[in-house]
Structure 1
Amino acid sequence: MKATDMITKEKIRKCAEAIVNGMNLKKGEAVIIRGGAHTQELLEEIGILCYHKGAHPLIMATTDEYSARVYDEIPERTLRETPKHYLAAIKESDAYITIEPFKDPTIQTKFPREKIAARTEANVPIRKVLYGEDGGPGKKWTYAGWPTPEAARFYGVEYEDLERLIIDGIAVPASTLRQNTSRLAELLRGADVLHITDDEGTDFTCRIRGRRINEDDGLIDEYDVRNGDLGNNLPAGEIFIAPHETYGEGSLFCPVTIDRFTNKIIRNAMLHFKNGKLILEECTAEVNEDQMIDSFNRCLEIDSKEREVRTTNIAELGIGCNPAIDKAIGYILTDEKLIGSIHVAFGSNLSYGGTSKSSMHWDFVTSPTATIERLDTKQKIMLHGSIM
C-alpha cells in the first residue's frame, strides 16, 4: 500500500494547494518537483496546480530501492562528480519543490558515510545556486514532509500521530501562523543580546542586533522575495534569525535529533560553544555521539575550500509557533515548529540574512520549556515555553 493510499484525496489536494500557493508562482516560471515515488499522487497534484498557475512543472521521483542501489553499487568517485545536467536544470529553474524523498528513513542509516560525504561534496555547486551562495538571487524553494507507516516506526510513534503532526501542521492557515510569528517578531524587534535557558540544561547567549527577523508563515510573499527570504518548510510556523556568527556562548541541550549524514537518531545531545563556535571536543550525546561529531568533521573537510570556514558557527536561532505541533519525535521538520521550544542551527545561513556559507546546516531543538530574555531591557519574550 502506498503512503498516499492512507491519506484521503481531499487531504492530498489541500496539501498540494498549500505547497503551490505558498510558492508565489508566476506565469511562465519553471518548477522542479522532486520526491519519493511513494508520493507520486501528491507530486502530480502539485504539477497540475503549477500548470493552473501558468508555471511549467518537471516531476522527478525515485524509490528507496533505487537510492539503496546507488549507494551500494556506484563508486565514491562517481558520486563526487556534480551532474552537469542537473546543475543546469537548477540554474534554469525558478522554483524547486521537494517532498520527503524516502518512504522508510531507516534506509538512509545503511548508506556508507564516505559515499554520503562524496555526494554532499558533489551537491555544493547545486546548493550554491539554489540558495544564492554563488552571487545569484537564489531560487524559490519548498521542502515538505510526508507521513508513512515506515517513518512512524522509525520515529517510534503511531502512524496517526505522524500524520497529524505533518498533515495537520501543513493545514494550519497562514493567517494563524502569521499572528504567532508577528507577535514574536514584535517582541524581538530591536533586541541586542538574548539569554536563553530551559529546564534541561540549556543556558546560552547570542546576539541578533541588526539581523533580519524572518517570519515563516508558509507563504513566500513579495516582501519575502525582496528580502531574499525564498524558502519554505512545510509544516511552517516559526520565526528564525541569523545571529552574529562569532558571538555567543553557553550550552544547548537537545533531547532528540537526526544525524545529518546517516539519519541515525541522536539522543540527549549537549552542545557547548564559545565566540559563536562549537567546541566539538566538549560536545556529547548519550546515543550516537560519534555519528554527530563525525558529521561535523566531514563537513569541516568539505568546507575547507571556502574562504572562511563556518561549519560549526552558530547559524540560526528559531522559535517554534505552530499550534498543531505538540511534541518532538526526532523529525526536525516538525520538531523545530514545536511551541515552547527554540532551536539553534550551525553552519550555513547566507540565504536568510547571515554571512556563512557551508555544506552543513543542522538544527538542534530544545525541550518545550524555553525561557528567552532580552538582556538590553530585561524583558521576558518567552517564559517556560509560553510566549509573553
Structure 2
Amino acid sequence: MKKQWVALVALCLIFATAFSSSAFAAETIPGGPSTNGKLSYESVIDYEEMIEGLKKIEHASKGKVEVFTLDEYGKTEQGRSIYAAKVGEGPMKIWVQAQIHGDEKLTTGAVMELLKALGKSGNKEVKQILENSTIYAIPMYNPDGSLMNIRQTVLHDEEGNSLNRRIDLNRDWSENGFAAKESLAVYKFWADVKPDYAVDLHHQGFKTVYGTNYSTSMSLGVSLAPNGPTLPGIKDGLYNDLTRQMSVYVYDALKDYGHMHIDRYQVGGGDSKYEIDIRGGVVSAMMLGLNYNNINPTGHSNPAIFFETKGNTRDGGLGQKSNGHLERQNYLGLKALLYGLATGEVQQVDPDRWEEIPAYPLAGYQTDSGIVPVNQ
C-alpha cells in the first residue's frame, strides 16, 4: 500500500509540473514586469558565485576579459562591490546590464555565458564583435536585492543600519532620485563610459503570445515606446528607429528556435494592452541624456532596449531545465545583437518591421503620469 501511495504522489507531481509549465497555465496570469513569475533557485548564480565565475572567465580569456569593481564610484547600500567586465577593442561601446531587480536572476547567468564566449571563442562572429566594439557588462546591478531575493534594494544609514525603506533601482535615475548608493555609482560609471548602445535584462510574469496558446518566453521592449509620446522627439527620431531596428534584429535571430516564443513587451490585462513610456526608468534616462548634478554635462545619450524573460525567483518553481532554456535565449539574443551592431547589420533593418513582432492590440501608453490613449 505504501509503494502504491508513493507512486501516486509521484505521478501527481509529474502532471502538476507539466501543467504549470504549459501554455494553458501561462494564460491565467497577465504579463507585466516582475509579477508572479516563478523559477527555481536551482542553477541560478548568487553573488559569490558570480565573483568566482568572473575571475575564472578573466583567467581563461588570457586577458581578453577585464574584470573590475565600481568601488571608485561607490558600493551598494550594504557595502558590497558592484562588479563589471570589459571585453573588446573596437570603437563602438555597448553597455549590457542585468539583475537590476534582485529577483530576476537568470539574466546574470546569460551575461556570464556571453562573457565566457567572448573571452574564449575564436569564431568569425566573435572576432568581428571584438574587433569592432567594446562591451561593458554589469552582470549583477543589485547584489543586495539578489541576496535578499527582493525586487528592490533597502536603504541603510551611514552606520549600516537598515532604514526599512525599499528603492526600485530601475526608477532611481532621475533629477529627484539617486536615493540608493548603487544608482549613483552605476550612473557615474555610465557617464564615464558614454556607451553608444545599451541592453537591459529583466524578468516578467507569465503571459501568452497574442492569438496563440504559446507561453511567451521573452518579450522585447523599449522603455520609451516606439512611435509613442516621447521617443520620436529624441534626436529627430533617430532612437525611435534604432530601438525598433535592434528589437527586430533580435526577433529575427530567435523566432525560429522551437522553444522560444517572442513578442513585444506590453502591460495590462484583457484583449488590448499598453506599451510603457516611462521617463523615470534607468535606460530611459540614458536615452534622454540625464545630467544629474552635472555628472553628464555633455548630455550624452544612447538608444537602449530591454529583454523580459518569463519568471522570477520569489516563489520557487519552473525547474532547472526550463531555467537553462530561458537563460540561453538571453545569451543568444545578446550575442546576435552585439554581432548585428558590430557589423552594421542592425541599421539595415526596416524599423517598421517592429509591427511584425507579435503584440496585443495597442490601447495606449502607460506613462509616469497615467495612461495616454493611443489616438493622442
Normalising by the residue count of structure 2, what TM-score does the alignment of the two structures yield? 0.31
Q: Which has the higher contact order (CA 8 A, sep 6+)?
A: 2
Normalising by the residue count of structure 1, what TM-score does the alignment of the two structures yield? 0.30
Greater fraction of residues in strand: 1
